[in-house]
Amino acid sequence: MRNAWILCKKELKSYFASPIAYGLMAFFAAIAGYFFYVAVAIFVTRSIESQMMGGGFPMNVNEWVVRPVLMNISVVGLFLIPMITMRLFAEEKRSGTMELLATSPIRDWEMILGKWLAAFLLYLAILGISALNMLLLFLYGQPDARPILVGYLGLILQAGGLLALGTFLSTMTKNQIVAGAATFGVCLLLWVFDWVSAYETATWAKVLSYLSVVTHFEPFSKGILDTKDVIFYISVIVLGLFLTARSIEALRWRA
């Protein structure tokens, strides 16, 4: 475990030694702020409209602001994740430092866990910025806290799974751009798989839809914590890390 932490720290340092981490954080802060602003603006307009038509004023903040913002953030996450994971192993392979790691007295899973954890912590930091917007809601509105927390748990779990898949894809090449593009492709697929369920009810469509991250994230965004969605995301994390381990092992044999 100490070894995993050693690697995790090294990865975090290298994220923050280059502009990547800061760039992603700034980008995410801007875009999350924008979503938040738009959602709040719509909410306010609608509320005024509704009040003029004689409806009750305090419409549900959770439904009108929190939910769309969380959905949008989850989609933006799909774009961020490849940028976080692409270098994890590809860069070590390219620069020859994989030889250092592979000949050090650490186990493969310690190395993999450390790297994934670093990516995960960076994502948490980025996500934390969007959480600041949510705090504003508590200052000016009376949102329900539980759905927001559940929503963030969903974002975290989803990112964990996709980061694990990205980590795996990063072991497949020494070109980080290729790794990033492949991860982006996978994220995109897992996003659009859900679309078929809109017009198709056959089994294959159900399977595709089940595999989609959107299907499993939606309940979280509504504040519904369902074990089967939690299990789905945890399975994706485990699968991603397992594939990474197999890939590292195969690298040794082919090296």
Partner 1 sequence: MIKAEGLTKYYPRTVAVDHISFEVEKGEIVGFLGPNGAGKTTTMRMLTCFMPPSEGTAKVAGYDVQEQPLEVKKRVGYLPENPPLYPEMEVLEYLEFVGRLKGVPNSKLKQRIDEVVERCALGDVLKKLNGKLSRGYQQRVGLAQALIHNPDVLILDEPTVGLDPKQINETRRLIKSLAGEHTIILSTHILPEVEQTCQKVIIINKGKLIATDTVERLTQRLRGSELLAVEVDGATSALQVQERLEKVPGVSRVTLKSTTDHRYRFEVETTKGASVRPEVARAVVEAGWNLYELHTAAMSLEEIFLQLTATDQPSATGGDR
CB-based contact 86:180 (threshold 8 Å): yes
Site size for partner 1 (CB under 8 A): 28
- Helix %, strand %, coil % for the chain, to 5? 85, 0, 15
| E strand or H helix at 22 | helix 19-52
Tell me the C-alpha distance between 138 and 147, whole Å.
13
Contact 238, 165 (CB under 8 A): no
Beta strand spans in 91-141 (E): none
**Residue bearing tokens 């860069």:** 91
- Cβ proximity to partner 1: between 103 and 227 the closer is 103
Candidate residues 93, 115, 216, 222; the one interacting with partner 1 per rule CB under 8 A: 93
| Alpha-carbon distance values, 57 to 28, 36, 95 (Å) | 32, 20, 60
Binding track, positions 172-201, relative to partner 1; x by CB under 8 A: --x---------------------------
Q: Which of 29, 75, 83, 106 lies at the binding interface for partner 1 (CB under 8 A)?
A: 106
Verify binding: residue 54, partner 1, rule CB under 8 A. Answer: no
Q: Which range touches partner 1 (CB under 8 A), out of 30-38, 152-160, 199-207, 245-253?
A: 245-253
Binding region for partner 1 (CB under 8 A) out of 34-42, 76-84, 93-101, 183-191: 93-101
Residue choice 1, 53, 56, 105 for contact with partner 1 (CB under 8 A): 105
Rank residues 15 and 152 by Cβ distance to partner 1 and give the closer one: 15
* CB of 6 vs partner 1, minimal distance in Å: 5
Question: What sign for the dihedral angle of Cα 75, 76, 77, 81?
Answer: positive
Q: Does 1 bind partner 1 (CB under 8 A)?
A: no
Q: Is 14 near partner 1 (CB under 8 A)? A: yes
Q: How far is the CB of 81 from partner 1 (least distance, A)?
A: 22
- Smallest gap from Cβ 121 to partner 1, in A, equals 17
Q: Judged by CB under 8 A, does residue 17 bind partner 1?
A: yes
Give 97's DSSP letter. Answer: T
Considering only 14-22, 157-165, 183-191, 216-224, which stretch makes contact with partner 1 by CB under 8 A? 14-22
| Residue 134 near residue 33, CB atoms below 8 Å | no
In contact, 80 and 162? CB cutoff 8 Å = no
User: Is residue 67 near partner 1 by the rule CB under 8 A?
Assistant: no
The contacts found for 247-250 with CB under 8 angstroms, 24 or more apart, are 247/168, 247/171, 247/172, 248/89, 248/108, 248/111, 248/112, 248/171, 249/108
- Residue 101 within binding range of partner 1, rule CB under 8 A: yes
Q: How far is the CB of 97 from partner 1 (least distance, A)?
A: 4
Contacts with partner 1, residue ranges (CB under 8 A): 3, 6-7, 10, 13-14, 17-18, 93, 95-107, 174, 251-255
